[in-house]
């Protein structure tokens, strides 16, 4: 017997009533899944470029500063730089030459006479650590002209928490790529000038003898024509690292000297000529008053970016 009209309406209401609610729930669930789906991450940049990530560190050029600590900002006499270490890092400097002295029992960055300017080594290393902590895709390089023992310098790295960032080469002398250094968080390569016995005393394995791993061009240029592409110091032939010294000292540094040599085309042509002469690009391109001229453009050209 056919159901009464009002009974049929009740059954229809029961069957159809929940449908709008289920549809809304399904729509919400799909929207939630879509919202939670991870977005593709941007390609990792290493020292500012994705193209550098898979190159061995020995095949990368770093913009560098000569006597990085000796700045006008830090009130050094005969300063080689305008700005201090922190701003240099912020501006893109990734390699630094630093002079370490034992100043009355305390390690300090000086330029000869500590009375003409000094910064506590611990303080400078803390600045480097802060930068590395806040810039996880950046690799740095240091060259220390050390007049203190390796033991003392290593102690400063330990106290400031910078030691874990220091890279130790493997026994087979294979140098990692920037990506590998970043993945291991060993993003600091530390060299010391090993022509002084005191610097070698107690040197740990991550504290690398510079002239056993590197060579450079002459560093006593007084006029632009002195900036030649000739061997200066260090291992000749087979050295994994190469430093291009590109600054004038006559008798001291001056922004006016940087104006003479830090601009293209002189700068880039000299860099390319030296790369051709030695059959490889320099790893550290060291200048005075880095903000004058075209350092970063020259490094970009050397890296083929």
255: tokens are: 């922004």
Residue 15's pLDDT is: 41
Give bridge partners of residue 190 from the DSSP assignment.
142, 207
CA distance 143 to 212: 13
Q: How far apart are CA 141 and CA 20, in angstroms?
A: 64
Looking at residue 269, what is its pLDDT? 98
The answer as to whether 87 is a domain residue is yes
CB 66 within 8 A of CB 288: yes
Q: Does residue 18 form part of some domain?
A: no
- Burial category of 178 from C-beta neighbours within 10 Å (exposed 0-12, middle 13-18, buried 19 and up): buried
CATH number at residue 212: 3.20.20.190
**Number of domains making up the chain:** 1
At 41 the pLDDT is: 53
Residue-level pLDDT at 238: 84
Is position 33 within any domain?
no
- Whether 11 maps to a domain, the answer reads no
pLDDT at 172: 79
Closest by Cα among 128, 148, 149, 150 to 139: 128
Tell whether 209 is covered by a domain.
Answer: yes
Asked if residue 147 lies in contact with residue 196, where contact means CB atoms within 8 angstroms, the answer is yes
Give the pLDDT means over successive 10-residue stretches in the chain (305 positions).
Answer: 43 42 42 44 84 98 98 97 98 98 96 95 98 98 97 98 96 91 98 89 96 96 98 90 98 97 98 97 98 98 98
At 24 the pLDDT is: 40
* 96/163 Cα distance (integer angstroms): 17
- Residue 120 in any domain: the answer is yes
Please report, for residues 22, 23, 175, 280, the alpha-carbon distance to residue 34 in angstroms, rounded to integers and kept in the order given: 18, 17, 43, 50
25 assigned to some structural domain = no
**Radius of gyration for the alpha carbons in the chain, expressed in angstroms and rounded:** 29
Evaluate whether residue 210 is within a structural domain. Answer: yes
Residue 236's pLDDT is 78
Residue 171: per-residue pLDDT: 81
The CA distance from 231 to 65, in Å, is 20
Confidence (pTM) = 0.86
CA-CA distance, 40 to 42, in Å (whole number)?
A: 7
By residue range, what is the domain housing residue 276? 50-302
């Amino acid at each position: 017997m056919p159901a009464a009209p009002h009974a049929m309406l009740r059954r229809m209401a029961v069957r159809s009533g929940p449908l709008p609610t289920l549809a809304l729930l399904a729509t919400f669930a799909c929207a939630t899944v879509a919202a939670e789906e991870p977005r593709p991450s941007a390609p990792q940049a290493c020292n500012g470029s994705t193209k550098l990530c898979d190159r061995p560190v020995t095949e990368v050029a770093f913009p560098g500063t000569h006597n990085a600590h000796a700045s006008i900002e830090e009130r050094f006499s005969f300063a080689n730089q305008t700005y201090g270490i922190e701003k240099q890092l912020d501006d893109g400097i990734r390699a630094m030459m630093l002079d370490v002295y034992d100043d009355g029992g305390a390690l300090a960055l000086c330029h000869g006479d500590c009375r003409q300017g000094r910064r506590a080594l611990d303080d400078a290393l803390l600045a480097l650590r802060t930068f590395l902590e806040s810039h996880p895709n950046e690799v740095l390089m240091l060259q220390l002209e050390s007049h203190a023992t390796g033991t003392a310098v290593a102690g400063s790295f330990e106290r400031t928490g910078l030691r874990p960032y220091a890279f130790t080469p493997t026994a087979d002398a294979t140098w990692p790529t920037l990506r590998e250094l970043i993945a291991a968080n060993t993003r600091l390569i530390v060299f010391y000038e090993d022509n002084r016995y005191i610097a070698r005393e107690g040197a740990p394995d991550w504290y690398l003898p510079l002239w056993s791993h590197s060579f450079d061009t002459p560093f006593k240029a007084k006029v632009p024509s002195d900036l030649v592409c000739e061997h200066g110091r260090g291992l000749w032939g087979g050295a994994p690292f190469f430093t291009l010294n590109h600054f004038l000292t006559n008798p001291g540094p001056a922004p006016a000297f940087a104006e003479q040599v830090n601009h293209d085309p002189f700068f880039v042509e000299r860099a390319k000529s030296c790369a051709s002469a030695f059959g490889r690009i320099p790893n550290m391109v060291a200048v005075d008053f880095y903000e004058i001229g075209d350092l970063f453009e020259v490094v970009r050209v050397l890296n083929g970016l």
